[in-house]
A and B are shown apart, each in its own frame.
Chain A
Amino acid sequence: MAGVRLEHVYKKYPGSDNASVKDVNLDIKDKEFLVLVGPSGCGKSTTLRMIAGLEEISEGKLFIGDRLVNDVAPKDRDIAMVFQSYALYPHMNVYQNMAFGLKLRKFKKADIDKRVREAAKILDIEHLLDRKPKALSGGQRQRVALGRAIVREPQVFLMDEPLSNLDAKLRGQMRAEISKLAKRLETTVIYVTHDQIEAMTMGDRIVVMKDGIIQQAASPDVLYNHPVNIFVAGFIGSPSMNFIKGTLTEQGGAVHFKTTGIDIALTEGRAKIVREKGYVGKEVVVGVRPEDLHDEPVFLEASPGSIVTALAEVVENLGHEKNIYLNGIGNDTVIARVDGRSDIKEGSNIKLAIDMNKIHMFDTQTELNIFES
């Protein structure tokens, strides 16, 4: 097994003015499960394809272990890839599909047999070894694709949206299985997805990308609780963070955030930061996660300085929780996630308290998190 290191990596396509991947620096540790996440066109797949050797690196260096592999062919990089399209070999059965790479590398028949059967056992597809891909379900095919990668015992697994062709239920199952598998195999995994749930649940570390640039690389906890900018804050979390534009003012020895339907006092610690950074009197964007808006009476009583009143336009009942779409806080719709037992009715005016210890605040120009920078 080995780590992967990208040093100032760029990808520029001929005829294009802009680089698709810009100055990517990443040190992926041995046995780490790293997830690259971001919207379409953010450069995550291109980065993975450069690691795989399917795309040339325009500038910068790529190391697998200690070996510089910029000019090494994919087959010689000791990696195994699993992609969205399973691309199984339709004329071969499952056993032959899994054995193919080993056969090419002139492994002994007994070794091939041992590895294929072991991988099949891990993936619970032993009973499918004689079947051809067409006779398999989507989930089974994806397992075969994983098996084909596992038997190689590569230094690094590269996975590009491997679950995106599966239905929601199967995705959930396979997500857990891939995580378990990575731990069991003790191998380095680089996993690309646009799905933040996959990213949050699977990654030891998540790299959020936008426009070819790494926005933040951190653990799921850090990413969720300490996003460095508006993009990361909005991308991670579902429903996503609410952003409310308003002004900070000094009032009675406290710093208040004010805009349409909202006048709340910052905590002393946060007030100190904005004073020191010179934001008082200026426009800022406050970020509030839906779960940090509370309707419990105890919380309302304990937080008189952060109560807002709004119209509950839509109530989405998910059973264990409810998403309330609110009108009247700032200029856009704000979403609150409350307990499933809450009796908030659509069309009613309700009071909610914001957990002021959990709010985020962003500079309107740089979009950076004022509390994290």
Chain B
Amino acid sequence: MNASWRSQLESLFHHTFSTKTMEKSEWLKDINEGVSSGNKGHQMQEPGTTYRTKSGFVRFLLQERPGQVDYIELTDTISDREQMLLSIIIRQAAAEDKLGIGNPAAEKERIALELGRWVKEQLETGKRNTPVPVEFTSSRLEHEMIPFLIVREQGSMHSEHEGLEKLLHSFFEEEVMIIPLQEQEWLILGPASILKDDTAESRMDEEGETADDMLTGICSGLHGMLANEWVGECHVAVDYPIIPAESVVDTAATLRETISLGRKYHIGENIHFPWMLSLERLLNGIPEEQRHRYIELVVNRSDLLLEPEIITTLETFFSMNCNVSDTAKKLYIHRNTLLYRLDKLKQDTGLDVRMFRDAVLVKIILLLYKVTKRK
């Protein structure tokens, strides 16, 4: 079944439909031993053929292949009427060629969906280091690829998978793998070759451009392209290239955490990088109560630290590596105005952010304040 049919049925039956495959002889044996329905005794099987197994499942045939059958399976909690209805739907979909079986694009989407389900399961059970099972491994997953995670806040994915695939294919100019993790969350595996083309390499040598810089540029470009050409705003995270077959789950977990931290600590930003969020990751592990205590300890000295103008000033100051001139330029204020603000902060709080020690403290306070002030 293609994604649309499958999703509609899944939401109707509140059940996940995974396509399974078994030997035709085994299917025929089961059907003959089954407790009801089926096409007992017949050698040719039609899509929609259904039976209840002794072990408590209801199976529906999707298609017959030489020596094998593809089917879906539900627990036998569904009624006879529901079983009959589902059988009719599958038969109808097969007649209209909407099952998508045999269609390479739909088949690819099906595999991606199932791989997504598997990745999600591993994430939920905390098994970050599980290698991808053989049934999903393809040559694509054995090669180095760049992992991206895209998260949207609104909309529906069903009609968008194909559009997203076309867009990404045009953007990367090579085949990409789109693995849906949740309704608004996709893990994208893009070609690592874009980091390694001759021009890029020569530029790296000449200008000292790092892999981080390259990935940042690609991620920014990808985000801009998706915002303009897809369905609006989304969050994008990227990590270093991986061999997906070995570490797709671990990478998905890292990227999820990256977007979550990015959204929490850097509101308004849509592009997130794991290597930029080390401090945020560390602070996120501090218990809530301890965070509050720490903030109160410092902030209680003066409310000035929480004024929007000071927060913007300090954030810009830190993003400009504590360079006064660059910060003033970025804020479009006179250097003396910036110095006046920093002096006032020092006077009120005793913290001089031009000193490394105090700068670290204030940076931590600002990050902690962002996640505690909404309480």
Please list the residues of chain A having a beta carbon within 8 angstroms of any beta carbon in chain B.
15, 40-41, 49, 53-56, 73-75, 81, 83, 85, 87-91, 100-101, 103-104, 132-135, 194-195
Contacts and interface: CB of A to CB of B under 8 A. Distances in A.
> SS class of chain A's interface: helix, strand, loop or mixed?
loop
A135 B202 CA distance: 11
B220 interface: yes
A132 B199 contact: yes
B194 interface: yes
A87 B231 contact: no
Contacts of B228: 74-75, 81, 101
Interface string B298-325: 0000000000100010000000000000
Contacts of B225: 87, 89, 100
A75 B233 CA distance: 11
24 contacts: A41-B308, A53-B232, A54-B233, A74-B229, A75-B229, A75-B230, A75-B231, A87-B221, A87-B225, A89-B221, A89-B225, A90-B214, A91-B172, A91-B173, A91-B197, A91-B221, A100-B170, A103-B170, A104-B167, A104-B170, A104-B229, A133-B217, A134-B209, A135-B203
A41 B221 CA distance: 25
B78 interface: no
Which of B166, B172, B225 gathers the greatest number of chain A CB atoms within 10 Å?
B225
A55 B227 CA distance: 11
Which of A53, A75, A100, A133 gathers the greatest number of chain B CB atoms within 10 Å?
A75
Contacts of B374: 15
B267 to A, nearest CB: 9
Contacts of B223: 87
Contacts of B200: 91, 132
B153 to A, nearest CB: 9
A157 to B, nearest CB: 13
B92 interface: no
A55 B167 CA distance: 21
Nearest to B270: A54
Contact of B312 (A40, A89, A104): A40
A135 B171 CA distance: 20
B89 interface: no
Contacts of A73: 230-232
A89 B232 CA distance: 18
Given A87-B220, A134-B203, A135-B203, 13 more contacts: A15-B374, A54-B227, A54-B232, A56-B154, A74-B229, A74-B231, A75-B229, A75-B231, A87-B225, A88-B221, A90-B214, A91-B172, A100-B170
A132 B194 CA distance: 12
B224 A87 contact: yes
Nearest to A40: B312
A242 to B, nearest CB: 17
A21 B216 CA distance: 31
Nearest to A194: B332
Contacts of B218: 89-91
A134 B207 contact: yes
Which of A55, A75, A91, A133 gathers the greatest number of chain B CB atoms within 10 Å?
A91
Q: Which 4 A-B pairs have the closest CB atoms?
A: A87-B224, A90-B217, A89-B221, A91-B194
Given A100-B225, A104-B229, A195 B332 contact: yes
A81 B230 CA distance: 14
Contacts of A53: 232
B171 A89 contact: yes
Contacts of B166: 104
A55 to B, nearest CB: 7
A73 B224 CA distance: 14
A14 to B, nearest CB: 10
Contacts of A132: 199-200, 203
B47 to A, nearest CB: 35
Nearest to B163: A75
Nearest to A96: B173
A104 B163 CA distance: 10
B32 to A, nearest CB: 52
B238 to A, nearest CB: 12
Contact of B232 (A15, A74, A134, A195): A74
Interface in B330-349: 332
A90 B172 CA distance: 11
A75 B200 CA distance: 30
Contacts of A88: 221
Contacts of A90: 214, 217-218, 221
Interface in B159-179: 166-167, 170-173
Contacts of A40: 312
Given A40-B312, A56-B154, A90-B221, A101 B203 contact: no
A104 B170 CA distance: 7
A194 B331 CA distance: 10
Nearest to B195: A91
A112 to B, nearest CB: 13
Contacts of A133: 217
Nearest to A148: B228
B224 A83 contact: yes
Contacts of B224: 83, 85, 87
